[in-house]
Amino acid sequence: MDRRRLSRQELIRARRGDGFVGREGELSAFRANLARDPADPDFRFLHHLHGQGGVGKTSLAQRFEQMAREAGALTVYVDESVHSVPEAMAGISARLGRQGSPLKSFDKLLATYRERRHEAEAALAGPDEPGGEAPPSPGSMIIARAGVAGLGLIPGVGPFAGAVDSTQLARGTDRLRGRIGARLRNHDDVQLVLSPVEVLTPVFVRELGEAADTVPVLALFFDTYEATGPLLDTWLRDILFSDRYGPLAPNIMVTLSGRDALDRRCWADHLEHVTDVPLDAFTEAEARRYLAAKDITDPDTVDAILRLSGGLPVLVSTLAGSRPGAADAVDDPSDTAVERFLKWETDPVRREAALAAALPRHLDEDVYREAVDAEAADHFGWLRTLPFVSERGGRWQYHEVVRTAMLRLQRRRSPLEPQHRRAHHLVV
């Protein structure tokens, strides 16, 4: 396969990047860094984009990815759809494979891990030995409290590891040890199932370096890092700054993008190596350039959008999305941001559907139909075109800034409204 062949999703991100406006300083610095020799002391290998929802972190990360690819880099984009370290490694390997740089030994070991984990799950699900349940061993309690579920040992639990009772988890770990030890004769297989991160990562890092040897830069982008950081922080830190998993190729560059500052408990000793990229609202000049690029030049309309959006990129994009040609409703007395977001959508059925569909955190067509009135049931295709609605892992979700504002408006409405009751049931 041609290493430069792009997936449909990558092509979509690239097309969005072609119309990117603003953030000139950040783009210039990133472009200059791509041109440096990785051995140069000024080469920055770890970037952190952060800021409130709606400031354009994802858009900038995607633009960075496009720039890296244009400079000849291998690039991988990871979002919140990964729920464990093994999942993150698997996703990175799959994306590199599609670019013609497969991690063959890692993929083979990953396949073995999945097979042996399936056997381990079957062993753990079997009936208990007679004689009652013994208390968990001290070692299992330590492992449980360290969050072994978050490492992918027990599928489906990772994101909720903090809510799992550690004693119950430790008992499960003891049973798992005993049963897979009896079922799997190969000690290496036992270690692979019990400590997948420790076994998989050295192979992953070695082959990642081999892929990096073929290009100027190998760039990894971790978006929505406020969701994945608790799972990936320690693993990424150890890959970047320790020898725990072996040497890392010097031309591997990592970009983290999330709302929050990096967790100092994990990163405090390495902040000098982090290129901090705080993002805020557009400047007025940036917002005006963005609107001009969208062919919105009427002075009153531009002023109205600037005033109503506060320069927040997601809101500038939302208000510009219907390409208003005049600002005849600039003085609308409504005091809610939501009504202003939708001010150029004149169809009352669609306006109500947009509000109702904000209550479920994630949407597919079935959830959408449950949330909205019957007369809006066929408007899901329209909803997906709104600039604050994005697709993640086969489901759709509102940008959190817009969703929060819409939820506030919903709370002001009577909870007795049938639509509100129905959508509230979906949330609960």
In this prediction, residue 74 carries a pLDDT of 98
In this prediction, residue 294 carries a pLDDT of 86
pLDDT digits (tens, 9 = 90+) for 30-55: 999 999 999 999 999 999 999 877 78
In this prediction, residue 94 carries a pLDDT of 97
Range scoring the smallest mean pLDDT among 63-77, 336-350, 405-419 = 405-419
Per the prediction, the chain carries an average pLDDT of 80
In this prediction, residue 257 carries a pLDDT of 96
164 or 277, which is more confident = 277
CA distance 213 to 263: 31
In this prediction, residue 68 carries a pLDDT of 97
Q: For 394, left (φ over 0), alpha (ψ -120 to 50), or beta?
A: left
175 or 268, which is more confident = 268
Q: Quickly state the pLDDT bin for 2 (edges 50, 70, 90).
A: very low
pLDDT digits (tens, 9 = 90+) for 211-244: 999 999 999 999 999 899 999 999 999 999 999 9
- In order of 54, 70, 156, 189, 251, the CA distances from 180 in angstroms are 47, 48, 20, 9, 40
Report, at the CATH architecture level, how domain 8-101+214-278 is classified.
3-Layer(aba) Sandwich (3.40)
Q: Quickly state the pLDDT bin for 137 (edges 50, 70, 90).
A: low
Q: Quickly state the pLDDT bin for 162 (edges 50, 70, 90).
A: very low
In this prediction, residue 131 carries a pLDDT of 52
Specify the length of the chain in residues: 428
Residue the block writes with tokens 């504002």:
405
- In order of 239, 255, 394, 399, the CA distances from 390 in angstroms are 31, 21, 10, 7
**173 near 148, Cβ under 8 Å?**
yes
In this prediction, residue 335 carries a pLDDT of 39
pLDDT digits (tens, 9 = 90+) for 361-394: 899 999 999 999 999 999 999 998 886 788 877 8
| pLDDT over 80 (residue 326) | no
Q: Quickly state the pLDDT bin for 209 (edges 50, 70, 90).
A: very high
Mean pLDDT along residues 110-118:
91
In DSSP terms, which residues pair with 218 in a beta bridge?
74, 252
Strand pairing report for 275-278 and 252-258: unpaired
> Rg (Cα) of the chain, in Å, rounded?
25
Q: Which helix (H) or strand (E) holds 395?
A: strand 395-398
The reported pTM is 0.69
Which residues contact residue 236 at a Cβ distance below 8 angstroms, ignoring those fewer than 6 apart? 222, 254
What does the CA dihedral 186, 190, 195, 198 come to, rounded to 10 degrees?
0
* CATH 3.40.50.300 domain span(s) along the chain: 8-101+214-278
